[in-house]
Amino acid sequence: MVNETEGIILSTEIAAGHREKAYELLKADAHKILKLIEVQMENLTMPQCPLYEEVLDTQMFGLSREIDFAVRLGLVQEQDGKELLESLERQLTALHDASTRNK
C-alpha cells in the first residue's frame, strides 16, 4: 500500500513526465513544420507563392493552438511555448532568406 507522501511524490513525478512529454511532442511538431517547409521550398514552390504562405500560416496557427492548449492544461509554461514558436519562426526566416538568395 502507498502512503500519502509516496502518493504525492508519485503523482508529482507523473505530472513532470507528462509536462516533459507534452513539450517534446510540441518540439516534434515544430520540427515537422520546418521539414515540411524545407521540402516545399526545395521542390514545389517559391516563398511568394500563395500555396506556400497558406501552408505555413495553417501549420503555424495549428502549432500555436497546440501550445495554447498545453499551457492551459498546465503541461507547458507559457514562456516555453512562446520561445518554441519564436525559435521556429527564426529558423523559417533563415530558411526563407537562404532560399531566396539561392534562386
C-alpha angle with apex 21: 23 to 1, nearest 5 degrees?
140
Q: In Å, how far from its chain's centre is CA 29?
A: 5
From first to last of its 103 residues, what are the pLDDT tens digits of the chain?
A: 545 555 555 567 777 888 899 999 999 999 999 998 888 777 765 656 677 778 889 999 999 999 999 999 999 999 999 999 999 999 988 887 877 776 5
Kindly report the pTM of this predicted structure. 0.77
Cα separation, 43 vs 40, in Å, equals 5
Q: What is the pLDDT of residue 47?
A: 57
CB 97 within 8 A of CB 41: no
